[in-house]
Amino acid sequence: MKITILDDYFDTLRTLPCFAKLAGHDVTVWNDHEQDVDRLAKRLADTEVLVLFRERTQIRAPLLERLPKLKLISQRSVYPHIDIDACTRLGIVVSSSQHAGTPSYAAAELTWALALAASRLLPQQIEALKSGRWQMGVGSTLRGKTLGIYGYGRIGATVAGYGRAFGMRVLVWSREKTREDARRDGYEVAPDKQTFFRECDVLSLHMRLVDATRGIVTRTDLAEMKPTAILVNTSRAPLIEPGALVAALQAGRPGMAAVDVFEKEPLLDTADPLLNMPNVIATPHIGYVSRDEYEVQFSDIFDQIVDYVAGTPSHVVNPAVLAARRR
């Protein structure tokens, strides 16, 4: 099979043990990011299997209609960047393991790193030291503070455990079913959303981006936060109402944000407000970017290719295509 892998920025996959699963196939790996439809159509013209790095590249009908040889898209996790209806219409199988029961420990660890870095002003202290200044301010400790977990799924539950280990009060807000999960795990559940935003010292978002969660954090919610509070977002930027975070930070509630995700990615505009506010620390969507996490994720992705070649497609998100898939 002719397999193309997009957006492997640092050519990491070839160095992982799981890459051996593709032995015998004709594999092309692209290390840049390309979204222009004409250029993508040209580089993918002979591709039979397309491997994606999460949501880095948009795969929509105008591109798919120009890829007559494409039979399978293999990826992991959610797929808002893929036109599933167009894939089904064109006979293209989309396989995407939802990694049930397996959290992204890499994303959870980055969440915690950002919370610690923001509370102790680590980026600012490091920059001050490098510029010849000895200390630039006074940070805060986390012990005894309230950690808010908005969305108690696999990653949210893992981060809650980190907070508990650090001696924090953990407060959860989520949909009713997962609130029950949090109670069962021994965590306190907020009586309502307003109280949740009002009481948290560190508030971390852990929800998938779907229609129901888009803009779920509003300007009103953010205005309830303490002027000393930190908002951490390693999930998806559009969980927050457009423009609300910058406005809230300018107004001083919350006092600080630590973000790994942005409305437009990759974010290359150095004039973006979030990159120029003294009360923001930011990382370039590296929550899942670790060699260990890649090995876990791409083992699943490559297994889906092996299954497809064997005639038993797995984790198919558009099962209606199976009766008329491309051969």
- For the annotated catalytic residues, the residue numbers are 236, 265, 285
DSSP secondary structure letter of residue 82: B
Partner residues linked to 75 by β-bridges = 96
- Among candidates 76, 100, 107, which has minimal Cα distance to 302? 76
Dihedral of the alpha carbons of 299, 317, 158, 287, in degrees to the nearest 10: 70
Complete edge-to-edge strand list for the sheet that includes strand 49-51: 26-29, 2-5, 49-51, 72-76, 93-97
Residue 74's DSSP bridge partners are 51, 95
DSSP string, 103-139: --HHHHHHHHHHHHHHHTTHHHHHHHHHTT-S-----
Which two structure tokens, joined as six digits, stand for 100?
Answer: 């049930």
Query: For residue 244, what are the contacts with CB-CB under 8 A and spacing of at least 6?
Result: 217, 218, 219, 222
Q: Cis (ω within 30 of 0) for the bond into 17? A: no
Q: What are phi and psi of 260, to 5 degrees?
A: -120, 0
